[in-house]
Amino acid sequence: MSLSDHMKLLRARHGGVTPLEMQEVTGVPMHEVNLIEMKHRRIGEDDEMLGKLAAYFSVPLEQLQWHRERYRKKLTAALYERQDGGEPITLKLESGHQLSGPVSWFDRTAVALAQEGQEPIVVERHAVVDWE
């Protein structure tokens, strides 16, 4: 799950706090929070800023750093590689579930994994925490 998606999830879990409310408590400028949430590429290079956000959400800094490395374009590359090679992929979801199968199709919002003798399983990309 990208840092972008993870930040949105953390805000939702904290009652839907706004970037302005976060700025007032953390000192992290509202536009920085907005930028992190809008970008699905590797972003959030300032570990001091991430540290303030981690403290605000009561999560370890390493958690935000880890999500920074799981950006959507990296997932896109893995999906493309597996689809092109016909190899299955395992998607680990926020719910704790894992789904595996060949990549049937994907777009910027969802992934479909083929299932033998069944319709493909479609997963929204923001729910994918990790993959292998």
- CATH code where residue 115 lies: 2.30.30.100
Instruction: Write down the pTM of the prediction.
Output: 0.81
Torsion (CA) 48, 63, 33, 40 in degrees, nearest 10? 120
Give the chain's count of helices (H) and strands (E). Answer: 6, 5
Write down which residue in 22, 45, 68 finishes a domain: 68
Picking from 68, 127, 120, the residue whose alpha carbon sits closest to that of residue 93 is 127
| CB-based contact 3:64 (threshold 8 Å) | yes
- DSSP class of residue 40? -
The number of distinct structural domains making up the chain is: 2
Question: Are both 27 and 52 inside the same structural domain?
Answer: yes
CA distance 130 to 69: 10
Per-residue model confidence (pLDDT) at position 10: 95
Ordered per-residue pLDDT tens for the chain, 132 residues: 889 889 999 999 999 999 999 999 999 999 999 988 887 667 768 899 999 999 999 999 999 999 988 888 899 999 999 999 889 999 999 999 999 999 999 998 999 999 999 999 999 998 999 999
Question: Are both 12 and 64 inside the same structural domain?
Answer: yes
For residue 11, the enclosing domain spans 3-68
Residue that the structure tokens 């999560």 belong to: 59
| CB-based contact 25:58 (threshold 8 Å) | no
Q: Chain centroid to CA 38: how far?
A: 12
Q: Given strand 128-131, what is the order of strands in its sheet?
A: 118-124, 110-115, 98-106, 88-93, 128-131
Question: Are both 11 and 53 inside the same structural domain?
Answer: yes
Per-residue model confidence (pLDDT) at position 86: 87
Q: Give the angle subtended at the CA of 39 by the CAs of 53 and 82, to the nearest 5°.
A: 115
Write down which residue in 68, 102, 118 finishes a domain: 68
78 SS3 class: helix
